């Protein structure tokens, strides 16, 4: 099935390996953009970056079951593969890898990749204890299948980005990990596939996340170094919205993800908030 730019769609691991091997034989560099599909401008910004830095670009579209906990939205996670393919082709992607679960995880798959430090237990890991084990496992598998030179991840999932960088370092993957900036709607809301869950009233209420982020950035730019004061102000801003329920608002070391009291060095200020039943995340980074 060819689309513009003759984009190839592969459902089998061996197809991907064969194509990448052919490219590498020609001396071409390969970039990987791992996604769970239902793509938006945040994802296409990763593809654009990959196209600018690599000769060939592979995007995976796979809703990974191992990173969803019981009661999470695995079954309802939005999917629209046809739309994804049109978007990827328009942005210059060369190959889409769209395996089913059986292709990615054999019947008796029992091997996981897991970081055993405190790092994955912070932030999202507190309420999603198996999440990063699933992320590391699927990304590790994608790295082994595609063998990319560079891989591209969004800064919106800042903890995921930090965890993957740590995994790549610890397991000696010769892959450069490139984080790309958060892409926002015109009104400030960070783009997310889960935004589609929001009804009009909730969509309006969800702006409280970016408003809290912008408030935190403003306080930092005014010279506030006390993380506690910044987080308190952000929490108070969120609590003004009746539909919002805070999961966390935290300041952590940008590399280790461990909590900090002062804004010094690289600091990630991150939050997760439920708007109705939908859990949304946002963040900003302070470079020391």
CATH assignment of the domain containing 279: 3.30.1300.10
Whether pTM exceeds 0.75: yes
Which of 38, 247, 53, 40 shows the shortest CA–CA distance to 159? 247
61 and 203 in one domain?
A: no
3-class state of residue 179 by DSSP: strand
Helix (H) or strand (E) holding 83: helix 81-90
- Asked, for residue 17, whether it belongs to a domain, the answer is yes
- Asked, for residue 166, whether it belongs to a domain, the answer is yes
31 and 122 in one domain?
A: yes
Q: Are the CB atoms for 201 and 236 separated by under 8 Å?
A: no
Structural domain for 145, as ranges: 4-180
The pLDDT score that the predictor gives to residue 230 is: 98
| Residues paired with residue 252 on neighbouring β-strands, in sequence order | 259, 268
Let me know if 43 is a catalytic residue.
Answer: yes
- Asked, for residue 82, whether it belongs to a domain, the answer is yes
Q: Which of 43, 91, 98, 131 is catalytic?
A: 43
Mean residue pLDDT across the chain = 97
Q: Are the CB atoms for 48 and 20 separated by under 8 Å?
A: no
Domain boundary among 158, 180, 202: 180
pLDDT by residue (tens digit) across 151-200? 999 999 999 999 999 999 999 999 999 999 999 999 999 999 999 999 99
Instruction: Lowest mean pLDDT of 81-85, 108-112, 284-288, name the range.
Output: 284-288
- Asked, for residue 185, whether it belongs to a domain, the answer is no
3-class state of residue 6 by DSSP: helix
């Amino acid at each position: 099935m060819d689309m513009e730019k003759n984009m190839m769609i592969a459902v089998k691991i061996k197809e991907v390996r064969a194509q990448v091997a052919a490219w590498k034989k020609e001396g071409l560099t390969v970039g990987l953009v791992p996604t769970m599909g239902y793509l938006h401008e945040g994802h296409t910004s990763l593809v654009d970056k990959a196209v600018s830095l690599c000769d060939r670009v592979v995007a995976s579209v796979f809703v990974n079951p191992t990173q969803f906990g019981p009661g999470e939205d695995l079954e309802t996670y939005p999917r629209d593969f046809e739309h994804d393919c049109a978007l990827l082709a328009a942005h210059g992607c060369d190959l889409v890898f769209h395996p089913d679960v059986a292709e990615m995880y054999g019947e008796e798959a029992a091997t996981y990749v897991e970081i055993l430090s405190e790092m994955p237990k912070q932030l999202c890991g507190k309420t999603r204890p198996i999440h990063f084990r699933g992320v590391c496992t699927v990304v590790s598998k994608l790295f082994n299948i595609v063998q990319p030179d560079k891989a591209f991840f969004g800064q919106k999932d800042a903890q995921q980005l930090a965890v993957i960088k740590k995994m790549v370092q610890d397991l000696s993957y010769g892959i450069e990990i490139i984080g790309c900036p958060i892409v926002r709607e015109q009104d400030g809301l960070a783009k997310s596939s889960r935004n589609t869950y929001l009804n009009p009233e909730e969509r309006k209420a969800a702006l409280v996340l970016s408003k809290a982020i912008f408030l935190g950035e403003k306080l930092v730019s005014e010279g506030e170094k006390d993380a506690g004061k910044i987080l308190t102000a952000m929490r108070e801003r969120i609590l003004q919205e009746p539909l919002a329920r805070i999961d966390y608002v935290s300041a952590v070391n940008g590399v280790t993800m461990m909590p900090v009291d002062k804004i010094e060095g690289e600091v990630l200020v991150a939050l997760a908030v439920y708007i109705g039943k939908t859990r949304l995340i946002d963040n900003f980074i302070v470079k020391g």
